[in-house]
Structure 1
Amino acid sequence: MTQARYDVVAIGNAIVDILARADDAFIAANGMTKGQMQLVFSPEEADALYAKMGPGQEVSGGSAANTIAGLAALGSTCGFIGQVADDQLGQVFAHDIRAAGIRYDTDARPGAPTTGRCLIFVSPDGQRTMNTFLGASHYLPAEALDRQLIADSAYLYLEGYLWDPEEPRAAMRAAIDVARAAGRKVAFTLSAEFVIDRHRAAFHELIDGGLIDLLFANDAELISLAQTDDLEAAIAALAPKVPLLVVTLGPEGAMAIAGGERTTVTAERVDAVVDTTGAGDLFAAGFLHGQVQGRSLGDSLRLGAICAAECIGHMGPRPVADLKTLAGSLA
């Protein structure tokens, strides 16, 4: 196995987040479940909801793209593979990710549909309710993969959200084969319970087949995957099947289980929770950065907690403060 030129390459939804504040009454009146993500299946539906939004801000997003942005901010060398359309939002996404020092070479897709967007309503308590129109990101073909970039990266990082549509699902399966053939590690994040409900059997197939080296999940996602009501039972069922399992617990911190040993960390204190959008994505960024730097599980968990705390202290899913400074010697 040759030395990796990149630390992490990610494949995920290439979308632009549009964030606005909204109270609980607005969320309920528009048929949304507070704190959850739902898919918007047509541009017309997305436009109608967008018209109801208050003043907002546009920030390049997407779960895996947020993680890669956090990794780059910490100093990791990174690449990203994701599909945008040849439109204004696609140009915004491409500019933002390249400006962060991330290699991004996926050609824009001509014609409809438009670049994906996520309409995010942030409640006064910082909870985010997301409405995602995946748009062009649904159409990432296996032919768009930069196979050499994947083979040259120590980790391939995949987001569960993109497993839903058939074309990018096939692309991610092909990417796993490339990474495995090159002797690289594969990290996978479950993303959301609704994704697990649709693809539970496929996710178990990946895990049981030994194709996942590092599995990220929050407590609810892990419980859903294991189809149990008890977190410890879910851990007992799944931890022996992956070399490294990382479970985030919100304000209760996080844990990592490897070789039957468990390491835990408490959450970092924050003055106020402003917006939880991207908290899990940035936690994954900190943890992965620690791992590619050869840090211990405890240090990697602490890095993840630091990055997540920075994220929830402001609007938007990408870091604003200098993560290297916040992380200190851990970075």
Structure 2
Amino acid sequence: MSDFQVLCIGNAIVDIVARVEEDFLAEHDCVKGSMMLVEAETSARIYDAMPPAVERSGGSAGNTAAGIASLGGKAAYMGKVHDDQLGAVFSHDIRAVGVHYQTPRATEGAPTATSMILVTPDAQRTMSTYLGACGELALADIDEDIVARADVTYIEGYMWDRDSQKEAVLKAMDVAHEHGKLVSLTLSDSFCVDRFRAEFVDLVEGRVDILFANEAEIKSLYQVETFDEAIERLRPHVKLAAITRSEKGSVVLSQDESVTVPAHPTSLVDTTGAGDLYAAGFLHGYTSGKSLEDCARLGSLAASEVISHLGARPEVNLKKLAADELGL
């Protein structure tokens, strides 16, 4: 048995979450529903204009690691923060929820990354992200021993935005496969797919064992109009894929079967972290030997909890919730 079920690698970010009206997005040139990379000055300008906000440790893969820990699983995380106040907050938070985290903090260069998450009344989130220190994750930060000790290495697509990050995670993929372990990728954002479509197609068709995407992302990957067209394009290449469809639930594809699972009922407050927590539930189930249907049910349950409140990390014990709601 491996020491870790899942190693998550991603951008270590402190989320700053606030509710705003639609005109706030227009005023600050934000594309609704997207994740845009911004410079420090733009980040500061948006922060100064935001209404009262909640600051929480986040980052896509960090949220997934926290979700796995909440489910009672063993997760590790790699992501770069600076040796500053927000870096200390991030490091404390992820360790406090039970995630193994040892990436050295940067002592030079940019400060810890922040993401201004603007939640409109329809619960959609729009992110303006200043990568800061997290964009400096490099080969030297990849602990090959940790990769070798994890059943699955899970990587967020956002890591392709910096060459040093990309080099680092490609190395992690190679190490995982050298040790007979699995590689998982989340496409992260349809705008991210637009930026790196050709590379993502090559990854999905050649190096990824478990793919996560939502409907918009998989349609963007194959540049098709309908979900069914995207699935037909994906099917010949997929080893295992979990595609989320918001209120329509999720579809899981393997080489042998296709499983459709409905969304878990909830009250929608903030969609931030929905895909991250779905991946957490699914990967926890998969590395625990659950059926694909139960993996998807765990994913849907974890996603339903996180979208019922502001912020991208669970506010209840997911292990207890899964036992109470699903008997898992």
**Counterpart in the other structure of 2:8:** 10
The reply to whether residue 200 of structure 1 matches residue 197 of structure 2 is: yes
Counterpart Cα distance in 2 of 1:252 and 1:179: 33
SS, match of residue 56 in structure 2? strand
**Counterpart residue type for residue 248 of structure 1:** T
Aligned pair partner of 1:275 in 257, 270, 281: 270
**Counterpart residue type for residue 16 of structure 2:** I
TM-score w.r.t. the length of structure 1 is 0.96
Counterpart Cα distance in 1 of 2:128 and 2:208: 29
Aligned pair partner of 1:248 in 237, 244, 247: 244
The reply to whether residue 216 of structure 1 matches residue 212 of structure 2 is: yes
Q: Which runs of 4+ in 1 moved over 6 A?
A: none
**Counterpart in the other structure of 1:109:** 106
**Counterpart in the other structure of 1:119:** 116
Counterpart Cα distance in 2 of 1:330 and 1:185: 27
Deviation at 1:125, TM superposition (A): 2.1
Counterpart Cα distance in 2 of 1:255 and 1:233: 14
Counterpart Cα distance in 2 of 1:239 and 1:253: 19
**Counterpart residue type for residue 10 of structure 1:** C
Equivalent residues in 2 for 1:269-308 (5 A)?
269-270=265-266, 272-308=267-303
Deviation at 1:260, TM superposition (A): 4.5
**Contact in 2 for aligned 1:290/1:330 (Cα 8 Å):** no
Counterpart Cα distance in 2 of 1:162 and 1:109: 18
**Contact in 2 for aligned 1:250/1:267 (Cα 8 Å):** yes
Structure 2, unaligned runs of 5 or more: none
Moved more, 255-264 or 305-314: 255-264
Deviation at 1:288, TM superposition (A): 0.6
Counterpart Cα distance in 2 of 1:91 and 1:48: 24
Deviations 1:35-74 (A, max 9, x none): 222111x211111111001111110000010001000000
User: RMSD in angstroms over aligned alpha carbons?
Assistant: 1.1
The reply to whether residue 81 of structure 1 matches residue 82 of structure 2 is: no
**Contact in 2 for aligned 1:240/1:260 (Cα 8 Å):** no
**Counterpart in the other structure of 1:23:** 21
SS, match of residue 14 in structure 2? strand
Deviations 1:132-174 (A, max 9, x none): 1111111101111111000010000000011110001000010
Counterpart Cα distance in 2 of 1:46 and 1:219: 29
The reply to whether residue 231 of structure 1 matches residue 233 of structure 2 is: no
**Counterpart in the other structure of 2:188:** 191
**Counterpart residue type for residue 193 of structure 1:** S
**Contact in 2 for aligned 1:89/1:115 (Cα 8 Å):** yes
Counterpart Cα distance in 1 of 2:247 and 2:92: 34
Counterpart Cα distance in 1 of 2:179 and 2:164: 23
Deviation at 1:239, TM superposition (A): 2.2
**Counterpart in the other structure of 2:132:** 135
Deviation at 1:319, TM superposition (A): 0.1
**Counterpart residue type for residue 135 of structure 1:** G
SS, match of residue 253 in structure 2? strand
Counterpart Cα distance in 1 of 2:54 and 2:31: 22
SS, match of residue 47 in structure 1? helix
Counterpart Cα distance in 2 of 1:330 and 1:317: 24
Counterpart Cα distance in 2 of 1:205 and 1:261: 23
Equivalent residues in 2 for 1:48-87 (5 A)?
48-87=45-84
Counterpart Cα distance in 2 of 1:150 and 1:164: 22
Structure 1, unaligned runs of 5 or more: none
The reply to whether residue 162 of structure 1 matches residue 159 of structure 2 is: yes
Deviation at 1:330, TM superposition (A): 4.9
**Counterpart in the other structure of 2:95:** 98
Q: Percent identity?
A: 45
**Counterpart residue type for residue 98 of structure 1:** R
**Counterpart in the other structure of 1:314:** 309
Deviations 1:241-289 (A, max 9, x none): 121011000011001011252101111111x311111011001100111
Moved more, 301-310 or 197-206: 197-206
The reply to whether residue 324 of structure 1 matches residue 319 of structure 2 is: yes
